[in-house]
Amino acid sequence: MSDRTATWRSPIVLITGGVAILILLIWLVAWFFPQGTKLSKLQKQETTLQTQIAQGNEKVALLKKQALNTPALEAMKSQLDTYVPSTADVYPYIKTLSQTASSAGVTPTNLSPSAPAKPTTGTFTEIAVSMTVKGTYDNIYGFIKDLYALPRLTTIVSVGISGGGPSTNRTTPLTAVFSLQTYTTAAPTG
């Protein structure tokens, strides 16, 4: 055997090589593999975060686009607040009904609102209003058209007309009893 082979087989070289291999194995097991696992987890987290960032950016872009519609939405809300006010105070509505009746040429003889009640079909609190008017056929017809043009949402539940007959014409005085419904977003009473 040569000296070189003997040098490789010497106990010091073998022990040193074994210790080096042992240190390398300890390094692989204690640091390299765990760090590789951590790196893999971090890469997965990075991918997840990149996806969340992309989704967040999409939401921001959508919100910016929707923000451009804010004035139109505020105008619609204002219109809705006029159609269905947040107060159960019906005095302004009663005043508007009286003015509408007068402008249509009918004379109100009875106008009585009820207390706000729980909704029977919709989501808004209902306020029933009974109204009796006198006028000609054309005036009552004009009043009905004007009711649908009121700034506050009004539903005609029923109309009862009396005073006509076979010997009457369009100018004959009639009496009309209206059952109306208006609405509010205020909570019902009772």
pLDDT digits (tens, 9 = 90+) for 4-34: 555 656 777 778 877 888 887 777 677 666 7
Provide, rounded to the nearest whole percent, the portion of the chain with pLDDT above 70.
92
Give the rounded distance of the alpha carbon of 33 from its chain centre: 52
User: Do 182 and 153 touch, CB atoms closer than 8 A?
Assistant: yes
Angle between helix axes 137-148 and 91-104 (nearest 10 degrees) is: 140
pLDDT at 4: 57
Strands (E), 29-153: 107-113, 125-135
> What CATH topology corresponds to 84-184?
Alpha-Beta Plaits (3.30.70)
d(CA 150, CA 173): 24
The structural domains of the chain, with segments of one domain joined by +, span 3-66, 84-184
In this prediction, the residues of the chain whose per-residue pLDDT falls under 50 are 1
Does the pTM of the predicted model rise above 0.75? no
pLDDT digits (tens, 9 = 90+) for 106-117: 999 999 999 888
CA atoms within 13 A on the CB side of 186: 16
d(CA 164, CA 152): 31
User: Do 134 and 175 touch, CB atoms closer than 8 A?
Assistant: yes
